[in-house]
C-alpha cells in the first residue's frame, strides 16, 4: 500500500507539471501598461523583491555572462528598472547605459549610481529610443514580454551591437512571456540557454543570443 501511495503521488506530481507547462504555453493577450502605472509601482516599492535572495541566482548568472563574454564591456540595459544590474556589474564595464519607461525608476537608479563613472540612465520608451552609440552587450532583463512585438525591440537594438557582441535575455516562464520566448527561439542563434527554478516554483529562461540577419 505504501508503494501504491508513492506511485500515486508521483503520478499526481507529473500531472501538475504537465498542466503547468501546458498553461504557460497558451497564448497571452497583450495589455499595455501605462507609464503612470509603472511610476506608481516603483514609488510604492512593488519591485523591491528583486533585491531578495530569491532573485540572486538569476542576477548572478546575468553578471557571469557579462564578465565572461566581455569583461570590460560597453553595456546597454533595456528596461533597467532601478539600476540593480548596474550596481552588480560596477565597475566591470567601460560604460553603462540603462533605459526605462518609468521616471521614478530612473530617479532611483541615478541616486543609486551617484558618482559611478561612465554610467548614465535615460527615461525612454524602448520601442522608440535611439542609443547614442554602439555596445558590446545588450541586456533585456525581464522586459521583452511587456512589449507588444518583442522581436522588433530586439532587432531594433541589435543594430547597435558591435561585433562580436551578444545579447543577454531573461524571461520568466509564464503565459505572458510565451510570445517573446517563442520568437527568440525561432529567430536567433544562441550561444547558451539556461533554465533556473526557485524553491517557490518560479522558473526563468536565460539566453545568450548572437547577431541574426534581419528579414
Mean pLDDT of 156-172: 97
Would 10 be classed as within a structural domain? yes
CA 54 to CA 33: how far, in whole Å?
Answer: 25
What is the predicted pLDDT for the residue at 23? 41
Q: Is the pLDDT of residue 1 over 60?
A: no
CA 99 to CA 109: how far, in whole Å?
Answer: 10
Q: Give pLDDT tens digits for 58-68.
A: 999 999 999 99
Total domains, the chain: 1
Q: Give pLDDT tens digits for 5-56.
A: 554 444 444 433 343 443 444 444 567 899 999 999 999 999 999 999 999 9
What is the predicted pLDDT for the residue at 213? 84
What is the predicted pLDDT for the residue at 29? 58
Kind and range of the H or E run holding 125: none
> Coil, strand or helix: which one is 55?
helix
Name the DSSP letter for residue 13.
H
- Residue 215's pLDDT band (cuts 50, 70, 90): confident
**Percent of the chain predicted with pLDDT > 70:** 86
Would 215 be classed as within a structural domain? no
pTM metric for this prediction: 0.86
What is the predicted pLDDT for the residue at 21? 41
Would 214 be classed as within a structural domain? no
Tell me the pLDDT of the chain averaged across its residues: 89
Would 177 be classed as within a structural domain? yes
Would 68 be classed as within a structural domain? yes
Pairwise pLDDT comparison (142 vs 10), residue with the higher score: 142
Would 141 be classed as within a structural domain? yes
Q: Is the pLDDT of residue 80 over 70?
A: yes
What are the contacts of 188-194 at 24+ separation with CB within 8 A? 188/154, 188/212, 191/166, 192/65, 194/61
CB-based contact 59:186 (threshold 8 Å)? no
Would 182 be classed as within a structural domain? yes
What is the predicted pLDDT for the residue at 129? 98
Would 110 be classed as within a structural domain? yes
Ranking 30-39, 105-114, 142-151, 161-170 by mean pLDDT, the lowest is 30-39
Q: Which domain holds residue 103?
A: 2-209
What CATH number is given to the structural domain containing 105?
3.40.50.150
Amino acid at each position: 500500500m505504501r508503494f501504491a501511495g508513492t506511485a500515486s503521488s508521483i503520478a499526481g506530481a507529473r500531472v501538475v507539471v504537465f498542466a503547468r507547462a501546458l498553461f504557460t504555453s497558451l497564448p497571452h493577450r497583450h495589455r499595455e501598461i501605462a507609464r503612470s502605472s509603472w511610476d506608481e509601482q516603483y514609488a510604492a516599492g512593488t519591485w523591491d523583491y528583486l533585491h531578495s535572495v530569491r532573485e540572486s541566482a538569476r542576477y548572478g548568472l546575468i553578471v557571469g555572462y557579462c564578465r565572461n563574454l566581455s569583461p570590460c564591456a560597453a553595456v546597454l540595459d533595456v528596461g533597467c528598472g532601478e539600476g540593480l544590474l548596474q550596481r552588480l556589474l560596477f565597475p566591470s564595464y567601460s560604460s553603462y547605459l540603462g533605459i526605462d519607461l518609468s521616471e521614478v525608476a530612473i530617479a532611483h537608479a541615478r541616486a543609486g549610481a551617484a558618482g559611478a563613472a561612465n554610467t548614465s540612465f535615460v527615461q525612454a520608451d524602448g520601442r522608440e529610443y535611439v542609443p547614442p552609440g554602439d555596445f558590446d552587450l545588450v541586456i533585456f532583463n525581464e522586459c521583452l514580454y511587456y512589449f507588444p512585438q518583442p522581436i522588433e525591440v530586439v532587432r531594433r537594438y541589435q543594430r547597435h551591437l558591435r561585433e562580436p557582441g551578444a545579447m543577454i535575455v531573461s524571461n520568466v516562464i509564464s503565459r505572458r512571456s510565451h510570445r517573446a520566448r517563442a520568437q527568440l527561439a525561432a529567430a536567433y542563434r544562441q550561444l547558451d540557454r539556461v533554465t533556473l527554478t526557485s524553491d517557490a516554483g518560479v522558473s526563468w529562461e536565460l539566453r545568450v543570443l548572437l547577431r541574426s540577419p534581419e528579414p
